[in-house]
Chains A and B, each alone.
Chain A
């Protein structure tokens, strides 16, 4: 679907964060744009603040000085003083209006999610352009799911790739209408495509959706054959890391042809756990351990045996 020039100027995206000096999401030194909103709800999600397609309140009790400014400011009466001398937010009453974040002196209350025009996004992306040039780096759009905001992302990457000569990459979960997905990745030099599990039913349990669309979409992208795709699979001990399912993943990837550059196995980490608390949510994978290096390297060998390159991390 094409939109006209005027519509392109009006495009805005909901972004949760822009992280400079990202060095794990594509070649060189990169700026990573996190789009907000995702159709999946993975149990292990490391960026839970990117799941909902709306700005949200984050609260960090470590930063809170207990001044109670937020209590007075809240128009919904959702904040009360807790026994520990710090305010507590009733998330059912909170409407994520952000008024409390404006009065909070210490930055304990912040809003995650800002609407930005393509121009504003480019302005941020361009800040590290001198570093991209010498390191072969560039911009990576992830999230969240970029395909949920396909027009904005497409325009951002188009201008980066064609006008600014900045290398572009996309991180997608693949769960989208194919046309939206194709629009999203049209100006991407590299696609990181997540496959979290090969069994549709198991995939639904882990992420909330079946993987049929995801697998179908990557087949079509691979068939077109004009883009480099890296398949990424998080390794969550006890959830998706059996040797059998990893073998199936390898066989599937190998069957997609030469568009697939490699499979990357991303070891589970719990860095995101604190963000669940800041969102007023419960983190459900508290007991999962970091995968052992030997296990990871065995899984990698299994993938390699199916005839496709693989790496850890």
Chain B
């Protein structure tokens, strides 16, 4: 039985109440007592509408299906709640998207509540309904089915489930990471967009070929705007009903206020935005973006006019954090283990600069951090954007939050973020106003772009292994075992020089990237036409102007689909070991190395030790190996930049692999770095676990040799021990460590400070640690929600550093 299930059991009985007020503690307690579940309302509505509308224009069918979903979706207002709305029929539920999820869910639904990573509650009735009434209708109509039918067969089988070039997550979702222009929605609400759609529709010219069919798009937009308004009204009605039955006069007032607000949003002002986005899309990620910036004018006005106190405002933000914590990204088992912990990566970033280049930190920035210190929720991903003008006060506040050991916040460097945005094609001024999309990817604020961050993967560990196996997956009992997935780079024993070996590694990387890239473009092609994301398109710049959906070329900027690099340290350490021990010192023969790797080092422990201890490892500030890491990442990233998506944009290299270093290590055999088969790869651009022997400054020196801004995000886990974050002296040293990391060109850093004893005990006694949070990679998760291999990986890293 998995740790997760045990973890689930305690949640039934045990209540964890966190928050600065009794209200927040009550909401928090309730949140932690509920297990995540699935909701079939959307699947039911889409199936019903699609059955009835065969032959109608696709965008209208999508609009009607969304409208029907909102019509049948209940309004949930729980006791004590101030922030309402949820994208499912019950708290902590996530809607099933049949046009995307069916291919895997029809096989997995029976065991969904017992799977290792991210299980969900599903009733027998729901299982039956999905299998008998929903899934059969979608056979052959899903995104996956369309992709499968189009993508060349010799590519399709390789990139789904073998650990090579994987595009699996892209097959079951439709783009993610979008940040609506909140400031714009504040001005006009959804009515502004609706009005624009009406005007555009009236101006269509039937003589213009370009305009043919666009009226359907605009009709669809108007239709969903109306449906969303009705959905909000349902909340107003529910609130008023509750007023009738409520006896507490204070709560009555609150409910009346909720009713009034729901009368007004989102057609006149934002909110419900995230709820609708989650119902329409496939996760997805709706980062709150620069929350402390667009909310500050309202906060300031309310404070000045005496409508709110700082304490009351913080309570509201705490309610929002818990609300965000209830959003879930629904994944198949493989993707769930790559993005472990139900998290949807809703990044919320504070700090940064204003449009004049001045520091933008304000009272709300600190309030957001204070709220997180109270609620200790895994979501939103709370991030801080630092730059040379960031106040010391903010840096020390970051240290306070880090000291809690939650893994929050992610700390970003404005300089690398701006450079990264400009590489995507944004202007300097757009780039200065950047936020972080999900894990680590910088983007310009305000509904500017559509795209994936990590549509496909480049498994650098596997690319290295394939030089020795001539492209054949040798691990037994897995998908693709015994088959040639990579390219045949010839007999490794015939590689006479290190340069020829190095070339072979690059060839494997090139083949993997190009294969994944082709597969990605076939997914984008499959998504066109039948899967319009109307709500997302409405909030994405230029879609309304062009009368086109985001999937159909409406967005101003396209990013990705992205190639995600995993295993940077593994390939660098392997290259260094081969270079030094095989080619330079000739202490190890290529024959012996091949045999040892094939045997997974069984019977070759001496050789493995030699590889581990007698060649330099990435993470120790040794140029010999660090330069190989720089070269190989530059090579891969530049290759990705040279490829074009079907929208014409450059594909985007990323290194923000979340917890995917664990599942992507599973299909990889033994490596010359000394890593054994099946073991996790190194996370992000961090050193391999236990291989950094010279302390955090040396790790930082190694990591910052990489060209961070040449990728759309990099991920660095810094494991700190020995610093006492409770003293001012310790905090200052931490602040300087981070400052120097950024000075040297590091993009993202997250810090883990938890003691290994705590983690060990939590693994054994999950009941004792319901809210123990760790930084997994790019985000935080409750430790006990992680599968055992991920937990083990984290413990191994901590142990090394104590």
Bind each other: yes
A residues whose Cβ falls under 8 Å from a Cβ of B? 19-21, 23, 28-29, 65, 67, 69, 105-107, 127-128, 130-131, 133-135, 137
Partner of A127, one of B613, B701, B740: B701
Asked whether B736 lies within 8 Å of A105 as measured between CB atoms, the reply is no
The 8 A-B pairs at the shortest CB distance, nearest first, are namely A106-B609, A135-B736, A107-B613, A21-B695, A105-B609, A105-B610, A105-B606, A21-B697
Asked whether A131 lies within 8 Å of B737 as measured between CB atoms, the reply is yes
Can you name the residue of chain B whose Cβ is closest to the Cβ of A130?
Answer: B740
In this complex, how many residues of chain B approach chain A with their Cβ under 8 Å: the count is: 27
Asked whether A131 lies within 8 Å of B697 as measured between CB atoms, the reply is yes
Digitize B710-743: 1 where CB-to-A-CB distance is under 8 Å, 0 elsewhere: 0000000000001100000010110011011001
Asked whether A105 lies within 8 Å of B614 as measured between CB atoms, the reply is yes
For the residues of B in contact with A, the DSSP-based class is helix
Contacts of A107 in B (CB 8 A): 609, 612-614
A-B contact count (CB 8 A): 66
Asked whether A29 lies within 8 Å of B606 as measured between CB atoms, the reply is no
Which residues of B (666-700) have their CB < 8 Å from a CB of A?
Answer: 694-698, 700
Quick check: is B605 within 8 A (CB to CB) of the other chain? yes
Which residues of B (739-780) have their CB < 8 Å from a CB of A?
Answer: 739-740, 743-744
Min CB gap A150→B, angstroms:
28
Asked whether A69 lies within 8 Å of B606 as measured between CB atoms, the reply is yes
**Could you tell me the distance between the alpha carbons of A105 and B743 in the complex, rounded to whole angstroms?**
38
Contacts of A133 in B (CB 8 A): 740
Partner of B736, one of A29, A67, A69, A127: A29
Min CB gap B770→A, angstroms:
31
Quick check: is B607 within 8 A (CB to CB) of the other chain? yes
Quick check: is B621 within 8 A (CB to CB) of the other chain? yes
B residues whose Cβ falls under 8 Å from a Cβ of A? 605-607, 609-610, 612-614, 621, 694-698, 700-701, 722-723, 730, 732-733, 736-737, 739-740, 743-744
**Could you tell me the distance between the alpha carbons of A310 and B612 in the complex, rounded to whole angstroms?**
45
Partner of B606, one of A19, A23, A65: A65
Contacts of A127 in B (CB 8 A): 621, 697-698, 701
Can you name the residue of chain B whose Cβ is closest to the Cβ of A68?
Answer: B606
Can you name the residue of chain B whose Cβ is closest to the Cβ of A18?
Answer: B694
For the residues of A in contact with B, the DSSP-based class is loop
Asked whether B694 lies within 8 Å of A29 as measured between CB atoms, the reply is no
Contacts of A134 in B (CB 8 A): 736, 739-740, 743
A-B pairs with beta carbons under 8 Å apart, 8 shown: A20-B697, A21-B695, A21-B697, A23-B723, A105-B609, A107-B609, A134-B736, A135-B733
Partner of A20, one of B607, B613, B695: B695
**Could you tell me the distance between the alpha carbons of A134 and B395 in the complex, rounded to whole angstroms?**
13
Min CB gap B549→A, angstroms:
48
Can you name the residue of chain A whose Cβ is closest to the Cβ of B743?
Answer: A130
Min CB gap B613→A, angstroms:
4
Partner of B740, one of A23, A67, A131: A131
Contacts of A105 in B (CB 8 A): 606-607, 609-610, 613-614
| Among A21, A106, A107, A134: residue with most chain B CB under 10 A | A21
Asked whether A65 lies within 8 Å of B736 as measured between CB atoms, the reply is no
Asked whether B696 lies within 8 Å of A130 as measured between CB atoms, the reply is no
Contacts of A21 in B (CB 8 A): 695-698
Min CB gap A278→B, angstroms:
16
**Could you tell me the distance between the alpha carbons of A254 and B701 in the complex, rounded to whole angstroms?**
43
Asked whether A29 lies within 8 Å of B697 as measured between CB atoms, the reply is yes
Contacts of A20 in B (CB 8 A): 694-695, 697-698
**Could you tell me the distance between the alpha carbons of A128 and B695 in the complex, rounded to whole angstroms?**
11
Contacts of B606 in A (CB 8 A): 65, 67, 69, 105-106
